[in-house]
Structure 1
Amino acid sequence: MTTIRVTRRSSGDAGDAQAPTVRPGAVRLELIDPVSARTTLDGAWWPRTRDLNAELAPLLEELGRRGIRATRVAFNPDSWAAAPRRLRVGDRTVRLGWFRHLDPQLLNLTGDLRRGRLDLLVVPPDTSEADAQRAFAAATDRANGDEPTVLLSGLDRPGLDPDRGQPAP
């Protein structure tokens, strides 16, 4: 399996299609950068599993390398396996909170003083690469006004309940 390229999309980037160039195991993340007017989403993340405990530390470390320091993470528990209330990342502790009212395909990170809240589309792990690339392009489009579940509803992914945007029961 190949991965999505990990880049920052500049305001002038029109979404040029390029072959993925990320090393295997790298965090599959793309952010809208630089930050300007508030958008519905700030980027997209494509974890490899639904184990938030295993997936979150590498994401937070990658965000740290990009100058973003999250101290709290909010998520919908219907999309993830059980997760701890706190997660140790490097020399700090990040607080996790689950909220059923959050969109199941949204990860909300707060605590960075320069960026404020960061809303990431969570592309389900079983998504095909082609669909993930389309989801990344839509999520990082500054003109996007769709909520995460709506954005993903048009993708052809097995096992997804199209009305709720989460794994089918």
Structure 2
Amino acid sequence: MATSPDESIRPPTATQRVTLRLRLDNGYQSGPVDGAWWPQSRDLLAEAVDLVENFPHPLNRIRKLLFSRPDWDADGRAAGTRHVHTRRGSVEIGSFPSDDTHLMVITMRSGQRHRLLVIPSETPPETAARIMEEAADERNTHGPAALLELIGPDQSHIGFDSWNHH
């Protein structure tokens, strides 16, 4: 069955999920990231639902998700999807115009944004724990590429401001 880019798609129900693996800083947004998220797979739709439904924000209302394409599998289910349906309602999703940001930018209904480093799901637990701890430290000055020990320019500042105005 073909879907149009504006149609929303529900991901399959995951059977063996663990608690949302997320670390947030103190909320002052002083560094290049506000925390880290270690998704359980590279399935964008399943992980987006998990993030939205389990996000520990006082209001628990996410309005938009902006993702980096290389962090996720490029399968037919996610291609062109503009919304994901969750128990908390429909959430708009989009991607950075520039890749390799390794971020998930969450925009809350209040307008507040959280820039989360996306740790690859296949990362060993000890390594992921260390990276999450560093990313959630309000004294952290490292961008996503440095935190993941990747080579290349940090592009975490590119793209989400223009997307946020849609």
TM-score, length of structure 1 as denominator length: 0.70
The residue number in structure 1 matching 2:109 is 112
Could you say which residue in structure 2 is the equivalent of 1:43? 35
- Once residues 31 and 101 of structure 2 are traced to their aligned partners in structure 1, the CA distance between those partners, rounded to angstroms, is 18
Residues 91-118 of structure 1: CA deviation (Å, up to 9, x unaligned) = 52111101142543110011331x7111
Q: CA deviation at 1:38?
A: 2.9
- Structure 2 unaligned segments of length 5 or more: list them: 1-15, 155-166
Q: Give secondary structure in 1 for the equivalent of 2:41.
A: coil
Q: Does 1:139 align with 2:132?
A: no
Provide, for residues 65-99 of structure 1, a one-character-per-residue CA deviation record: whole Å limited to 9, x for no partner. 65332111111112212422210111521111011
* Equivalent-residue separation in structure 2 for 1:64 and 1:89 (angstroms): 15
> Partner residue of 1:55?
47
Question: Which deviates further from its counterpart, 73-82 or 61-70?
Answer: 61-70
Give the secondary-structure state (helix, strand or coil) at the position aligned to 1:60.
helix
* RCO comparison, higher one (Cα < 8 Å, 6+): 2
Change beyond 3 A, Cα 1:143–1:64: closer
**8 A contact 2:33–2:135 mirrored in 1:** yes
| Aligned-residue offset at 1:45 | 0.8
How many residues end up aligned between the 2 structures? 134
Instruction: Give the conservation status (yes or no) of the 8 Å contact 1:103–1:148.
Output: no
SS in 2 for 1:95: strand
Alignment-derived partner of residue 68 in structure 2: 76
Q: How does 1:80-99 map to 2 (within 5 A)?
A: 80-82=72-74, 83=78, 84-99=81-96
- Cα pair distance change 1:54/1:37, threshold 3 Å: closer
The 1:163/1:56 distance shift into structure 2, 3 A limit, reads: same
Q: Distance in 2 between matches of 1:133 and 1:54?
A: 22
Gaps in structure 1 of 5+ consecutive residues: 1-22, 154-160
Match of 2:128, as an amino acid?
A
Q: Please, which moves more after superposition, 36-45 or 138-147?
A: 36-45
- Which among 4, 12, 24 is matched to residue 31 of structure 1? 24
Q: CA RMSD in A?
A: 2.4
Question: 4+ residue runs of structure 1 moved beyond 6 angstroms?
Answer: none
The alignment-based identity, stated in percent, is 31
Pair 112,40 (structure 1): closer, same or farther in 2 beyond 3 Å: farther
8 Å CA contact retained: 2:38, 2:120: yes
The residue that corresponds to 1:149 in the other structure is 145
Structure 2-normalised TM-score?
A: 0.71
User: In 2 relative to 1, CA 66–59 (structure 1 residues): closer, same or farther, beyond 3 Å?
Assistant: farther
Letter in 2 for 1:99: F
